[in-house]
Structure 1
Amino acid sequence: MKPQDVLKEKSSLWIFGYGSLVWKPDFAYKGRKVGHIKGYKRRFWHGDDFYRGDKEKPGRVVTLVEDQEACTWGVAYEVTGSQAEDSLQYLNMREVVLGGYMMETVEFIPKEKGQCPVLALVYIATSDNPIYLGPAPHGEIAAQIALCRGSTGLNIEYLVRLAEFMRLHCPDVEDEHLFSIEAAALNIFSRLW
């Protein structure tokens, strides 16, 4: 679905973030809600050769992988009017052009009781992307993250901020993939520096 098609259908829309968007959306929005989507698990399987890595040492960032039993926690941002157009232009450059992500529509379920689910746009990197790295043992992913740096900073900062978000906003959710990679990467990082 193209951004202009999304905008024709609604005066406002929701955008779901599950990686760096949870702490750094970099676009104006009307409101934000913590919550989750079902049918996907978050994995550090996507390469990043710009923001958190480079061409010689690509970093690892998260993408979503279909899994009917899973859910992924994050933040949905409501954007309206010109915010919607501006945010989609920004995200399409950041996620699609530079990152190789595609856009999907998902049902977002807010954490706060009594709030209705909303349809949200989400960006997902797939295995047919040239910088998709795919699965690897947690220790290998952690070592790669501990060593990489890109134009916006250290790859480990991305990992730690995502883990901090989960601990602060979703303290009852156990994200084994995220937390085991964080523990291993911090161990490696502390020995290097």
Structure 2
Amino acid sequence: MPPQVSEDVEQSEGASLPQDHRSVREQPVWIFGYGSLIWKPGFQFTRRRIGFIRGYSRRFWQGDSYHRGNQQAPGRVVTLLEDANADTWGVAYQVQQDQLRHSLEYLNLRESVLGGYVCKTVTFYSRGVQARGSSTLALVYIATPQNPLYLGPAKAEDIAGQIVRSRGHSGHNLEYLLRLVHFMRSACPGVEDKHLFSIEAASLALAPAPADRQA
């Protein structure tokens, strides 16, 4: 049987708890997701927490030629921009040591090899505990301007047009956008993300009927 875990444990599809108690005696690692890792982590974890990191803004400035686009028509996905006055909300996953190697190998392929992201360490604040100053270090994947898929800033209408036209191995780029919007509105009510919501509005104005944009 799996070990007893705290009430904030949630299991994603394909994730599993450790098979014994040995790993809980070792230091776990936290991994923060602010894009598709929110709804599709794809790796093993033991605990999931909603919260935020400080000093970064989420931006649709990274090109995607595999998951949400292709070489001829790359999609747009999110990366982080250093911004001293901003917070970015997402989900952090606790990964035990016996899960870590498999998880990092998977993320290296998904985020670095196919996505052009680099791994950094940030401070993560869980929702509901920020008033007490509780925080933990977490790994996060960020696409920098140095990678060949980086597209950089553009008007919301131009980003929306690219999103509405693009599709990749993981589905339509619009689905990616709308999943992220749904997370923010349902899990982080009252948190404003002007960049995200402006692109949502511009994309819905351009998007075809729902039956034509299924992922």
Partner of 1:18: 34
Match of 2:49 among 23, 33, 47: 33
Question: How far off is 1:83 after superposition?
Answer: 1.4
Q: How does 1:23-172 map to 2 (within 5 A)?
A: 23-113=39-129, 116-172=134-190
Q: In proportion to residue count, which structure has more helix? A: 1
Matched residues, percent identical? 56
SS at match of 2:208: helix
Question: How far off is 1:15 after superposition?
Answer: 0.1
1:114-154 per-residue CA deviation (whole Å, 9 max, x = no partner) reads 58210000000000110100000000000100110001100
User: Partners of 1:117 and 1:151 in 2: how far apart?
Assistant: 35
SS at match of 1:190: coil
Unpaired stretches in structure 1, ≥5 consecutive residues: 1-9
User: Partners of 2:172 and 2:204 in 1: how far apart?
Assistant: 12
Question: Who wins on radius of gyration, i.e. which is larger?
Answer: 2
Question: How far off is 1:186 after superposition?
Answer: 1.4
Question: How far off is 1:28 after superposition?
Answer: 1.2
Unpaired stretches in structure 2, ≥5 consecutive residues: 1-25
**Greater RCO, 1 or 2 (C-alpha within 8 Å, sep 6+):** 1
The answer to whether the Cα contact below 8 Å between 2:29 and 2:97 also exists between their aligned partners in 1 is no
1:42-92 per-residue CA deviation (whole Å, 9 max, x = no partner) reads 000000000000000000000000010111000000000221111111001
* Alignment size in residue pairs: 184
User: Partners of 1:185 and 1:54 in 2: how far apart?
Assistant: 19
Question: How far off is 1:190 after superposition?
Answer: 2.8
The one-letter code of the counterpart of 2:186 is: L
Question: How far off is 1:187 after superposition?
Answer: 1.5
User: Partners of 2:78 and 2:208 in 1: how far apart?
Assistant: 22
User: Partners of 1:121 and 1:102 in 2: how far apart?
Assistant: 10
TM-score using structure 1 length: 0.92
The answer to whether the Cα contact below 8 Å between 2:164 and 2:207 also exists between their aligned partners in 1 is yes
